Each structure stands twice: as C-alpha cells, then as structure tokens.
Amino acid sequence: MRERILFSFPVQLFLLHLRKNLALLLVWLILAGVILEQFGVVLGIPFLFLDPEYLHEVSWLSFALMGVGLAVLTMAFHMTTYILDGRQFKFLAVVPKPFIHFCVNNSVIPLLFYLVYTIKFIVFQLDNDLPSDWEVLEFYFGFTLGSIVSFGLIFGYFSFTNKDFFILFAGNLDKRLRNVRLTRATVLSQYKEIKNKKDQVITYLDLGLRLRDVRPDLARFDAQKLLRVFDQNHLNLFLIQSFLILFVLFLGFFKEKEILQFPAAMSATLLLSILVMLVGALSFWLRSWATLVVVLMLFLVNYFSNFSFLNRPHEAFGINYTIDPTPYTLAKLDSLVHPDTLTKDRKNTLQILANWKSKFPNDSLPKLVLVAASGGGQRAALWTLHVLQTIHKATAGALTKHTELYTGASGGVLGEAFFREIYLRSLTDPKIDPTDPEFLDQLSADNLNPIIFTLLVNDLFIRNQRFEYRGYSHLKDRGFAFENQLNSNTRSILDKPLIAYKKPEFDAQIPLLPVTTLVTNDGRKLVISPHSMSYLGTSRMGKTGPDEKKQSIDFLRFFAAHDPGNLRFLSALRMSATFPFITPNVELPSVPAMETMDTGLSDNFGIQDALRFLYVFQDWIAKNTGGVVLVSIRDSEKSTEIPQTEPPRIFEKIFNPLKNIYINWGNVQTIQNEVLYNYMNESMPFEMERIEFEYAPEKVQVQELSGSQETMQRASLNWRLTAKEKKSIISSIESFENKKALDRIKEIFPLN
C-alpha cells in the first residue's frame, strides 16, 4: 500500500513540479503569501483578494467573479503542466478523458491554495463588521458558484473534444489530426527523449476519486498512436489558450463599461493565467531553445520599444501636444524667474491676499489660515476631507473663510480639491452642505478596479483608442481610467479645466491650491496653478544670482505655447498622485520630455510650500493679519515609539537597507520640516501656530476602545479601501490628540 501511494500519480506529479516547475509553483506560493498577508499589506494587496469589490460593493457576485478568476488560473496551471509533462505519462492516453484525469491528479497544489484562501477570506469577513454573519455564507456561495460554473464549462468542453486512445482511432478524427504537422512533429520529437524512461506511476485517481492501477500492457500499443492522443489534447489546449487571450483583447474595446470592470484581484489572476499559459506554450514549442528565444525577444522588444508605434507617451489631458515641444533647458528655467516676472507674480498674489482681507472688517486683523495635507492614496484623501468637514462644521465655516492656501501631495491634495469645489458650489447653492457625509462615500468609492482592468486589456498591449477633451485628442490609458472613475465617483464636479479656478481664486472665494508634481528628470517641482507662482522657485527677491538652482517650475509660463490653462484639473490631480505602475508617469511636451510622478517623494506633507509662501509674503502678512495658523493634516503619526529590533537574518541583511529607506522616508521629511518650521516660527515678524491632525487608528484603539473586542485596522496605501479601513479613518478623529487640536481651533474661531 505504501508503494501504491508513493508512486501514485498525484504524488509523482507533485514531486515532478518540485523538481522541474518551480516557476509555476512560485505563482501559487506568492499568491498564498499575499492571501496570508505576508506580502503587500502596506499597499493593501491582500484585501483585493479577501474583500473584492464589484460595481462599488462587496457581494456574492464579486466573490463569484473571484471564483471565476481563480478557476481560470487553476486551469492555466493544469493546461501548462499537461503540455509540458503529460507526455511522460503514456498511460493517460488509454484512460477515458485523459486531460480531465490529469487535472484531477494534478490538483494537490491548487486544492491547498483553495483551502487557504477559503479559510482566510471567511475569517477576514467574519471580522469585517458585516451587518450579519450570514452574509459570509452568501459570499462563500458566490465564490463556490463562480468556481463550479467555470470548471464545469471548461471540463465540459474537454469532455466532448478530448478523446482517449480507443475512441480516437475508431473514427476519422485521426485523419484531421494528421494535418496538424507542427504539433505532431513536436510531440514525436519529445517522445524520442522519453521513450527509454521508466514509468514510475503505478496508480492514479479516477474521476470518482478512487485509486486505480495503471494498465500493465502499455507496451503493446503503438507509441506513435499513443502520442497522437496527446497531439489532439494539446491542440484543444492551444485553442483554449488562444481564445482566452483574444477574449481579453476583445474586452479592451469595452473597458469603460462599468459592468465589465472586474475586481482588481480577478484582473490580476487573468493576467497571471495568460503569463502561465505563455510559459507553457513557449516551452512546448521551442523546447531547449526556449530560454534563448525568450532572451532574444526581450532584447528585440527593448530595442523597438522607443519606436513611435510602441512608445506612446502617457499624456496630461487638455494641453496641446501637436506643436513643437518646449525646450527644457537651464536657460529656459532661468527665464521663468526673471526679476520682472517675479515682481509681476507677487503683485498678482498680493491682490489676491487683499481680496481675501476684504472679506473681513476694515479695522480687523484676521488670522490667515494655511492647510497642508499629506499624501497617502485614498486613505489620505478621505482623511483630509473628513478633517476639513469636521473643522468646517465645528467653526460654522469660519476656518474655511480664513483659509487662503491649500498645499500638500497626492491623496491629501485630492481631498483638499474636492472639499474646495464643494465649498465653492455651496456659496451659490444653499442646498449643498459641505459637511454632508455623502461626500465621504463619494471620495472613498473604489477607484482601483478600472485601473487594473485597463492595465490588463489595454496598456499591456498596443494602445489605440482615443478620446477628445476640449479640442485635443489623447490616447486612452489607465491614467484615463483613473480620472474617469474618480470623475464618476465624485459626480463630475472636478471635471473642469485649470483656468476655471482662476477667477474664484483671484476673488478669494476659495483658497489657492497649487498642485505640485515631481519632475523625475531633475527632481524639481512642477507647480500647476491658474495663477503663476514663479516666486516658489527661487529666493524671496530673486537676488541670489544665476548660481542658484531653481527649486520649482511654473507650469503656466513653461508651457505657455501649449494651452496650459486648458489642462484638465483631474489630470493635474493625477500627476500629483502618480503611483508607480498603477497610474502611469505623465510625459509633458518638452525636449527632453518632462516626466512627472507623485510629489510625495519630495515633500509628502506640503509643509515646505506653505512655509515658502509665508516667507515670500511675510511683510504683507505682518501688516494685515493677526498671525498665521498652519493646519497640518497628516495620514501618519509624527512621533512613534522606537521599535524593538532583533538580530537580522541573511536575507534581512540584504534587503533591510532598502526597507529602512522606504520606512524612514516620511520620518526624514518630518525632521526636515520641523527644522524649517522652527526656523520660520522664530524669524518671521508675525505669530505662527501649528495645529496638527494625525490619522492614527492605533491611538484610537488604545484610548477609545480599550477593553473592546473591536480592532482598528490601519488603512493601506491604495486607491481602494475596505469597509473596515474606512471606519478606522473616520473614527481616528476621536483620538485625544485630534480632539485637543479641534478644541484649539474652536478657541481661535469661536462660534458667534
């Protein structure tokens, strides 16, 4: 009995994969690590699998689609391993439905993954504050239904098309297969390699999961006829693989249909399925030449990738790319900070400040408020909006009225921009309440599914679909998908050109909001605003001379010939929140091409821009205000306890330096900002006060929920939030520190 189990087909296949197919096993291992929250937790990748969202809700249907995605990946694994290794097990040719038998015996690894995934998502959902635990049963039913239907359709196809030895040679199918010369030649050449190998399989599982003995009389069958069975099976597998790839390409034409925007995790499994099947196809057709051909293909793709038909830049929508690009040179940058230009821009901003001052009594010295919001994806956007709504309500709008500048990065700027637009509309429409919780739901709605889906069906292949925005044509990409979904979630209120904000900002109806993005060419900031702010790129009076390195670039002046005021404001927000590989780096029309990405790499907290603004206009502020209040909205704690460390292992010694740089980048910026703020606070001719709000669910857990069974889960850095993550963001306003900050704001701006 021991030998029957040891030399059974499932065990031998498992050992074969360990010896030969480690790359395929690595796919399952990485997915299991993600599911078990060992990889990608900071980015929220596990929650895409454990809490999939479809049509803006987690439901049985979203889990059914996850079942479909994992079933397709499982079948890709079966098909690839069958193509690669099925020929070694000649007994399959004489059993009914050979491929299905192979799948049954090849299911040890997928079954282990399904078991881990099922247990993990059930445990996760039971702890996910659902209205009823019965919903978890509904999710499980959906996942099971999606899996069963998918496996049923695929196995149904193979049960009707894949024949065993005895059926195959009883009809005319053999004549049809003789025409598939390349496939037959490949199989026969492979047979020569293995014909002398000893077959180690003595038992296999049949379709009833019973242990059967392998036929002992295989030698009497014609070897070439045996291999024709595999020939016919491989043909059907090739057709299935081709159909899946063509189907994915076909979906690209309808990627904007919300009903086709699958859960992000499902899109990821479909992409993995295609990659797994391509590995199998290349290995099968090319055999020992596979590695060389793949390397040559990579070199060819890399060589041709800068040709225009393959290298199509990701654009900022609304500006003119059809005319000659602007020279991106030091001389051009110097021309943007000419003393006359600096004077002109300062005078314009001084008039805006005067308009702000006119909102208050002539003999008063109002507090000037600046708000700096940190980046951090959708969690920062939601946290920023929630804080702005809370302080707006607590002061009956007084703080918002006193605010003249918003700064920040990434999600923080998105939250500021959304609140600013809501507030602007409320000035003319009393039905709009800027503190309505509905706006929190809009901003926190899923924005990731269309991005990942577009990456799968469009951006990995040749992009060719276009759209028009205010007179200019642009290619659709996942940047367009991000803007389109954000626009849909926020009811299109941010879908306007940059220039549309020029008048309300000039009249001081709303605060200035210079959207900044990092220029990867040289590390400078690109300042996108309807009012030129060249003074943010040099010293206060521009007297340091030509040797000073210009710190920022004024978007309006630099791209004056490219209709910069027509820039879609959503594109500006996307440029500030560009996350590598998720939203693509934008290329602007200059020579060399100016590439931008998330400004959080430079100043994730917006403090530097706010302090530079105060420095430039310090004389006016000292004369016309009662001091400055800087409201800092952070999506992390400023001061945390020093973590305990253990002696690192070998792998940790290799990766810890990069890990420490990533973890401490925010701390480095915080320390730099502390130095700048303290220097400014001591040297400015007016009083300054900083009030900080921190997203710190850990503090809420300790201070507000001590003794409770509830846990506060820190939200991930992502463009999609789970229900529990949203709750932790909203509840974080209740920490002692945030309550204290809110009380201080109430003291400065008391209700009349």
Identity of residue 594: M
pLDDT, position 175: 45
Per-position DSSP letters for 171-191, written without gaps between them: SSHHHHHTT-HHHHHHHHHHH
pLDDT, position 287: 65
Residue 661 tokens, joined: 């740089």
- What is the domain partition of the chain in residue ranges? 1-305, 326-636+665-691+732-747
Is 390 exposed, middle or buried, given 0-12, 13-18 or 19+ CB atoms closer than 10 A? Answer: middle
pLDDT in tens, 42-53: 778 888 899 998
pLDDT, position 196: 45
Rounded CA separation 203/4 (Å):
6
Q: What SS3 string covers 29-71?
A: HHHHHHHCCCCCCCCCHHHHHHCCCECCECCHHHHHHHHHHHH
pLDDT, position 556: 96
- Asked whether the beta carbons of 716 and 380 are under 8 A apart, the reply is no
pLDDT, position 187: 44
Identity of residue 656: N
pLDDT, position 363: 87
Q: Round to the nearest angstrom and report the end-to-end CA distance of the chain.
A: 88
Q: Cβ atoms within 10 A of the Cβ of 358, count?
A: 11
Nearest-10 Cα torsion for 742, 744, 747, 750: -20
Ranges of residues in the chain whose predicted pLDDT is under 70: 1, 93, 160-199, 215-238, 252, 281, 284-285, 287-288, 290-291, 304-311, 459-462, 539-547, 580, 651-653, 655-662, 699-712, 752
- Asked whether the beta carbons of 406 and 752 are under 8 A apart, the reply is no
Q: Cβ atoms within 10 A of the Cβ of 40, count?
A: 17
Rounded CA separation 200/10 (Å):
12
Q: Which residues pair with 466 in a beta bridge?
A: 475
For residue 204, the SS3 value is strand
pLDDT, position 167: 43
| Buried/exposed code over 139-168 (b: 16+ C-beta within 10 A; e: otherwise) | bbebbebbbeebbeebbeebeeebbbbeeb
For residue 311, the SS3 value is coil
User: In CATH, what number does 326-636+665-691+732-747 get?
Assistant: 3.40.1090
